[in-house]
Amino acid sequence: MESHGRDEGKGPVLHIVVVGFHHKKGCQVEFSYPPLMPDEGHDSNLLPEEWKYLPFLALPDGAHNYQEDTVYFHLPPLSGDVKCVYGVSCYRQIEAKALKVRQADVTRETVQKSVCVLSRVPLYGLLQAKLQLITHAYFEEKDFSQISILKELYEHMNSSLGGSALDGSQVYLGLSPRDLILHFRHKVLILFKLILLEKKVLFYVSPVNRLVGALVTVLSLFPGMIEHGLVDSSHYRPKSSVSEDVSLQESVSGAEEFVSVSVTDLANVSSEPEGEETASPSSGNGTEGDGNRLKAPSRPSPESSESDWETLDPSVLEEGGPKDAAETGAELPEAFEPKPETPITVQPQAVSGQGGVTQGLVSGLEEDQYGLPLAIFTKGYLCLPYMALQQHHLLSDVTVRGFVAGATNILFRQQRHLSDAIIEVEEGRVQIQDPELRKILSLTTADLRFADYLVKHVTENRDDVFLDGTGWEGGDEWIRAQFTLYLHSLLSSALQEDNERLLADYGAPFIAAWKITHNYRVWLSNKHPAMTAITPGHPFQGQYSVADVKLRLSHSVQNSERGKKIGNAMMTTSRSMVQTGKIVGQSVGGALTSAKSAMSSWFSTLAQPAPVAPSSCPEPATAAEVKQ
């Protein structure tokens, strides 16, 4: 299928789209520039099959409860393309009687519309800032037939966002890790580890702008993730197009085919049990004949769709260590047997001192010299900042091995069995049903020190106007730098021999679970010489102290179920005692005051001698009278 007129030579913005709510048809596209379908006009309601959920994403569920809102969403690539499409939508509603030109299909008291931008680059905050201004002006016209301002927006964005927009801090505009840590505190590190384990994570809150802000901010803690790690994060098929036909499943994009390499398809390669730690590279590990060549999987199936790389043995890709990159690249075209239009690039074996990015051989992502971003959102692990109710089937789709998704509809939260963790943003709570997963994600003492270090620096500088998100220590960039250090140290520790003690500070159960994930095996399958400069070991390793005991006790009381019950019971008891004391004080207070005044008067009476009449006082007896 053609790519619907998407010319790579143009700027980063693909389309400007207006979505409205029709009283009979529901959410529908009312305007698009350039047209979403090349053979249709600007006012066509038709959509590419891959983007059938666009109206429901741009105009979110429950939007009528809010005067305005903002949505970040991801769309799957169109056929012939390989990259995720990033959408930003600004929603507003206006009273119908305020319109200067009221069209015939406006039958309700309010008119609800969204103006959205579909982009090739994940500049969420920057696109939102520009789009909010234009949306405001578009609504102030009070005549939605005036579309010239939308065409001007398209031209302006493509002229201003061209070039190296992803190289600066523009990517993180509007994302505040400070606010995230102030809200979730130590649990931010649990969220970080959840995504490293590639679990099914669902964020839940209303309105949508709070939802997508929290979710994307968590992703910004992973170095390079937003810039280069989300290009494969939305490869899914709409429900109506899902088919059991093998021919349909084989029509995957170039990036998916590039990553879909399974060791199970290698001939005579010794296999090891799932979940077991991969042994160090060794020579002669069952690579007879063509066993050293990687071949595309011959038959995708639900059983193998979770991740073909789950059983990847690093020795397969590291056998040819002495060979240089050119020799490796010469073998790959024959081994993969790709389509002629599918480019294959080779990861350089050395990126000495360069801060640039190169195409990863295995991950298919643009990586830095440390192999980051990790290949988390690949091979069916989705990132959907906002999910419409119409996408609910993706939670249980056999081709989706996991997700980090956001939802505002309570139906998503009620079906807890479809998610490993539900993040209730409003309460700052992380709900994990599986006790085994809770054990894996339990923070170690070193982890608690790291999280406490972040919380203290953020809270101590909270009232300082010079450090409110703009300074270094305790600021947004500083927080991201700390998580970069944490991840670098984790990866460096994983490369060391006899590293059990080094990795124990991250949690032995967590390390065991992480080492069988897709992202770890892909990262380990390639060499990253720059990692030699990273000091292995947890950044906050060290001997235990009394402060650690207090920190552990505080964390347990705040986060464990038993601790929460004890805390709630103590608060309830304390509240009851205070209320009882007030009641007793009010009822008994008057009596005590009366008794006190009575006792005071009585003591004062005793202190004053009684007046004695002279006649009543007997005279003392004389000595003569005594003798008588």
Confidence of residue 555 (pLDDT cuts 50, 70, 90): low
Q: What is the mean pLDDT of the chain?
A: 75
Beta bridge mates, 353: none
**Sign of torsion over alpha carbons 491, 497, 502, 508:** positive
Q: What is the predicted pLDDT for the residue at 250?
A: 40
Task: Please check whether the two domains, 13-173 and 175-237+357-570, share a CATH topology.
Answer: no
User: Can you tell me the mean pLDDT for 33-55?
Assistant: 91
Specify the long-range contacts of residues 450-457, CB closer than 8 Å, at least 24 apart.
450/189, 450/482, 450/486, 450/538, 450/539, 450/540, 451/185, 451/186, 451/188, 451/189, 452/186, 452/551, 453/482, 453/540, 454/181, 454/188, 454/479, 454/482, 455/181, 455/185, 455/186
DSSP classification of residue 608: S
Report whether 88 contacts 212 (CB < 8 A). Answer: no
If one compares 23 and 293, the residue with the highest pLDDT of the two is 23
- Nearest of 54, 405, 65 to residue 214 by alpha carbon: 405
Round to whole Å and give the CA distance between 346 and 129. Answer: 38
Mapped onto helix, strand or coil, the DSSP state of residue 366 is: strand
Confidence of residue 54 (pLDDT cuts 50, 70, 90): very high
User: Can you tell me the mean pLDDT for 563-581?
Assistant: 61
The token duo for 160 is 């201003």
Give residue-wise pLDDT tens across range 36-46: 998 888 888 89
pLDDT score of 252 more than 50: no
If one compares 534 and 323, the residue with the highest pLDDT of the two is 534
Kind and range of the H or E element at 118?
strand 110-119
| Choice among 123-127, 287-291, 512-516, 604-608 with the minimum mean pLDDT | 287-291
Mapped onto helix, strand or coil, the DSSP state of residue 119 is: strand
Q: Which fold has domain 13-173?
A: Beta-Lactamase (3.30.450)
Q: What is the predicted pLDDT for the residue at 65?
A: 84
Which residue type, as a one-letter code, is found at position 486? Y
Domain 175-237+357-570 bears CATH identifier 3.40.50.620? no
Round to whole Å and give the CA distance between 409 and 102. Answer: 31
| Choice among 149-153, 286-290, 371-375, 408-412 with the minimum mean pLDDT | 286-290
Burial state string for 484-507 with b = 16 or more CB within 10 A and e = fewer than 16: bebbbbbbbbbeeeeeeebbebbb
Domain boundaries, the chain: 13-173, 175-237+357-570
pLDDT score of 511 more than 70: yes
Give residue-wise pLDDT tens across range 451-484: 999 999 998 865 554 545 456 788 899 999 999 9
Q: What is the predicted pLDDT for the residue at 134?
A: 94
| Choice among 87-96, 220-229, 268-277, 603-612 with the minimum mean pLDDT | 268-277
Q: HSE on the CB side for 92, CA within 13 Å?
A: 19
- Nearest of 109, 104, 73, 72 to residue 93 by alpha carbon: 109
Q: What is the predicted pLDDT for the residue at 371?
A: 94
Proportion of the chain above pLDDT 90, given as a percent: 48
* Residue 410: CB atoms within 10 Å: 11
pLDDT score of 118 more than 70: yes
Confidence of residue 253 (pLDDT cuts 50, 70, 90): very low
The token duo for 359 is 């195409």
pLDDT score of 510 more than 90: yes
Q: Rounded to a whole number, what is the distance in angstroms from the first to the last CA of the chain?
A: 146
Q: What is the predicted pLDDT for the residue at 364?
A: 81
pLDDT score of 572 more than 90: no
Mapped onto helix, strand or coil, the DSSP state of residue 571 is: helix
The token duo for 210 is 């709070």
Number of H helices, E strands in the chain: 21, 12
The token duo for 377 is 């959102």
Report whether 418 contacts 398 (CB < 8 A). Answer: no
Name, in order, each residue with C-beta under 8 angstroms of 127's C-beta and a sequence gap of 6 or more.
Answer: 88, 117, 119, 157
User: Can you tell me the mean pLDDT for 492-505?
Assistant: 92
Report whether 418 contacts 396 (CB < 8 A). Answer: yes
DSSP classification of residue 301: -
Q: What is the predicted pLDDT for the residue at 391?
A: 94
Give residue-wise pLDDT tens across range 310-369: 334 444 334 443 334 334 333 333 333 333 333 333 333 333 334 578 888 888 898 999
Residue 222 has φ and ψ, to the nearest 5°, of -85, 120
Q: What is the predicted pLDDT for the residue at 160?
A: 87
What is the value of pTM for the model shown? 0.72
Burial state string for 575-587 with b = 16 or more CB within 10 A and e = fewer than 16: eeeeeeeeeeeee
If one compares 57 and 295, the residue with the highest pLDDT of the two is 57
- Nearest of 235, 279, 284, 280 to residue 255 by alpha carbon: 235
Q: What is the predicted pLDDT for the residue at 143?
A: 85
* Ramachandran class of 81: left when φ > 0, alpha when ψ lies in -120 to 50, beta otherwise: beta
Q: What is the predicted pLDDT for the residue at 69?
A: 92
* Ramachandran class of 268: left when φ > 0, alpha when ψ lies in -120 to 50, beta otherwise: left
Kind and range of the H or E element at 367?
strand 366-367
